[in-house]
Amino acid sequence: MCDSLAQVKGIGGLEDSRMCGTRISGLWGIALIVIVGCSLSAYGKYGGGSGTPEDPYQIRDANHMQAIGADANDWDKHFKLMADIDLSSFTGTSFNIIGNSRTPFTGIFHGNDHEIIHFTYLSDDKSDIGLFGRVDDPCAVIKDMTLFYPDVDGGFVSFVGILVGVLENGNVVNCHVQKGMVKNDYAVLGGLVGYNGGLIQGCSSTCSLSGSVSWAGGITGANRGTITDCFSAAPQIHAVSEVGGLAGANYGTIRNSYSVCATHGGYTVGGLVGENRGLIFNCYTVGTVRASAQPVGGFVGENIYGGQIYNSYSNANVKGRKIVGGLVGENRSTITNCYSTGSVSGDYRVGGLVAYGYPQMVTNSFWDIETSGQATSVGGTGLPTDQMQMMNTFTDASWDFMGETANGIEDIWFIPQQDYPHLWWEGMNVPMKLTPRILNCRSQGNWVKAHLTLPEGFTVADVDSNRPAVLHSFGFQSTPLYVFVNVNELVEIEAAFEREEVCSLAGNWPEALTVAGFLADGNIFLGTSTVRMIAPGMKLIEELAWYWLNADCVQPDFCNDIDMNRDSIVNLLDYALLMNIEVEFVTDE
């Protein structure tokens, strides 16, 4: 695993732990000597620091950024931006790209919420183009920064992105690219990452893409990893084939993401993904989608061979020559619990939801026959607008909505008044506090209370106090809401949940709890906060450890990787490292 639990947590909201190369504790002294010796000789290259997790190299100006790419020996180190940086002095191929296929970047780059401005690169003879050329390590992280006004032209090469050319393995978290352009005339072009085999989380791009290129997308050209909580708002995406607002082709997982793009191409064009052979869920599209050939869809151009699309929708307007669908152009795989509402037009094989493929693969899905202008589809059910804006249309088809449990407890959808269904994460995010903050489930008590505060301008009447709040994705409902105006003249909502219900989550405790409440117009508000829990049975951890391993841990096997921190003792700390959770040490009186 990563070097420590603190390092994993420090990544800043990674959705899951990732297995990394283990290190034997007995070698740390040697490693430390090497790092210190290196940092003393290299101190002048950067603005301070020694390149360790505790003391990262400090990057304060453009020359420091240039120095990183000049020394491959540092590409496994830790870096931290200390100021906004302007790279406009580096043009053509003069900027030293960080990481390549021979020596990828495997370290940590912490953007520290700073900006990198005017990153420019022009090349026609080298693949893996981006601020970082290639990243390849499950513990590598690039996080918390924004690139403004980039201009990247890869010429006739493969794997071109603005931030990363190839993310073979690793994590890009909370990174954004705005107001720029990226071009390529060969293959695999992304507005953020060219090729993704790792994790892209909480990222966005508003840059235009163009070129005679295959596999082009607003976030990535091709995805074999995971994309979550991301969006693309490209003013223009124009490519030849496998073109998508978010990803050109998907062979991995995309969730909780959306695109608002003008997406144009020749073959296999989609508002979110051009070609899908992976998993897409809880996503949506708006904007325009155009294709000069086939197939084209408001959400996915072609869904084939194991591709799965569920709990998603498209409001994009779609136009093409043939095989034109409001949601999917050509479908040969699974579509479940989806809908489309955009206008759809074409010359041959046009469908309100799906244009061509296997109708039996489409279940519990709908399209608006009025707004689409299409009365037929290869699969799905066409309905007039008024029925598309009624909750029971969808709950009767087993869709899981907020506040009902008959169709499940995941709370995937909600529906505002006179509107279509929306995904839960589209709700308005508001501040929330939980009391108690430390929940001792071994003692008696009545309630866990959520205190949510609405933004300025809302009134008490804007809250539907007759509908209980929901502990999201667990199916627990609160007592009736207490709604009032606080001392800051803001509307505050108090929602109380049964203590026993919350404590029942022990053993599968989330890092944070999300509470959803309802506004009078059917929209929802969401508050998220953490709470520490003292769970029953933790006092027995030492006894558990004895049963777990009734022997000393010695080299070379360190007890088959059970002794996570390599201290020759199996205890609660190893359990925490293994499970990647935070726990409370407690003892009986």
SS3 of residue 579 by DSSP: helix
Tell me the average pLDDT across 41-62.
87
DSSP-assigned letter for residue 401? B
ω into residue 536 within 30 of 0, thus cis?
A: no
| pLDDT > 50? residue 27 | no
Range with the lowest mean pLDDT among 18-32, 297-311, 554-568?
18-32
Question: Residues for the chain: how many in total?
Answer: 589
pLDDT score recorded for residue 571: 64
| pLDDT > 60? residue 215 | yes
pLDDT score recorded for residue 19: 43
Order of strands, edge to edge, in the sheet holding 432-435?
432-435, 447-453, 491-498, 482-485
| pLDDT tens per residue across span 185-203 | 999 999 999 999 999 999 9
Tell me the average pLDDT across 387-407.
96
Tally of CB atoms within 10 A around 289? 35
| pLDDT > 70? residue 395 | yes
Q: What is the residue-wise DSSP string for 100-141?
A: -SSS-B-SEEEEEEEEEE--EEE-SS-SSBSSEEEEEEEEEE
State which H helix or E strand residue 234 sits in.
none
Show the 3-state SS of 289-356.
EEECCCCEECCEEEECCCCEEEEEEECCEEECCEEEECCEEEECCEEEEEEECCCEECCEEEECCEEE
Q: Are strands 334-340 and 366-368 parallel, antiparallel or unpaired?
A: parallel
Closest to 299 in 3D by CA, of 338, 272, 335: 272
| pLDDT > 60? residue 570 | yes
Q: What is the residue-wise DSSP string for 405-473?
A: -TT-SS--EE--TTS--EEGGGSEE--EEEESSEEETTS---EEEEEEEPPTT--GGGB-TTS--EETT
Q: Is 102 left (phi over 0), alpha (psi -120 to 50) or beta?
A: alpha
What confidence category does residue 438 fall into, taking pLDDT thresholds of 50, 70 and 90?
confident
What confidence category does residue 585 fall into, taking pLDDT thresholds of 50, 70 and 90?
very low
What confidence category does residue 575 fall into, taking pLDDT thresholds of 50, 70 and 90?
low
| pLDDT > 60? residue 393 | yes
Contact 79, 67 (CB under 8 A): no
* CA-based max dimension of the chain: 78
What confidence category does residue 8 fall into, taking pLDDT thresholds of 50, 70 and 90?
very low
| pLDDT > 60? residue 274 | yes
pLDDT score recorded for residue 465: 95
Q: What is the pTM of this model?
A: 0.86
pLDDT score recorded for residue 126: 87
pLDDT score recorded for residue 165: 98
Range with the lowest mean pLDDT among 155-164, 276-285, 368-377, 500-509?
500-509
- What number of CA atoms fall less than 13 Å from residue 345's CA on the CB side? 6
149's CB contacts (< 8 A; 6+ apart) are 117, 118, 178, 179, 180
Average pLDDT, the chain: 87
Q: What is the residue-wise DSSP string for 5-49?
A: HHHHHHTTS-SS--------GGGHHHHHHHHHHHHHHHGGGSSS-
Contact 452, 430 (CB under 8 A): yes
Q: What structural domains does the chain harbor? A: 1-216 (2.160.20), 426-533 (2.60.40), 538-579 (no CATH)
User: What whole-number distance in Å separates Cα of residue 406 and Cα of residue 390?
Assistant: 17
| pLDDT tens per residue across span 112-168 | 999 999 999 998 788 999 999 999 999 999 999 999 999 999 999 999 999 999 999
Q: Can you count the helices (H) and strands (E) in the chain?
A: 9, 54
| pLDDT tens per residue across span 61-88 | 999 999 999 999 999 999 999 999 999 9
Q: Are strands 447-453 and 491-498 parallel, antiparallel or unpaired?
A: antiparallel
Sign, CA dihedral 188-194-197-200, equals negative
User: What whole-number distance in Å separates Cα of residue 70 and Cα of residue 65?
Assistant: 9
What confidence category does residue 35 fall into, taking pLDDT thresholds of 50, 70 and 90?
very low
What is the percent of the chain with per-residue pLDDT over 70, rounded to a whole number?
A: 81
User: What whole-number distance in Å separates Cα of residue 269 and Cα of residue 320?
Assistant: 10
SS3 of residue 189 by DSSP: strand
| pLDDT tens per residue across span 335-377 | 999 999 999 999 999 999 999 999 999 999 999 999 999 999 9
Tell me the average pLDDT across 527-536.
79
18's CB contacts (< 8 A; 6+ apart) are 2, 138, 139, 171, 199
Q: Which of the pair, 4 or 343, is modelled with greater confidence? A: 343
User: What whole-number distance in Å separates Cα of residue 353 and Cα of residue 313?
Assistant: 10
User: What whole-number distance in Å separates Cα of residue 176 and Cα of residue 21?
Assistant: 29
Give backbone dihedrals phi and psi of 194, rounded to 5 degrees, phi first.
-65, -65
CA triple 226-299-213, angle to 5 deg = 75
pLDDT score recorded for residue 501: 87
| pLDDT > 50? residue 455 | yes
Contact 402, 524 (CB under 8 A): yes
Q: Which of the pair, 574 or 464, is modelled with greater confidence? A: 464
pLDDT score recorded for residue 55: 96
ω into residue 235 within 30 of 0, thus cis?
A: no
| pLDDT > 60? residue 486 | yes
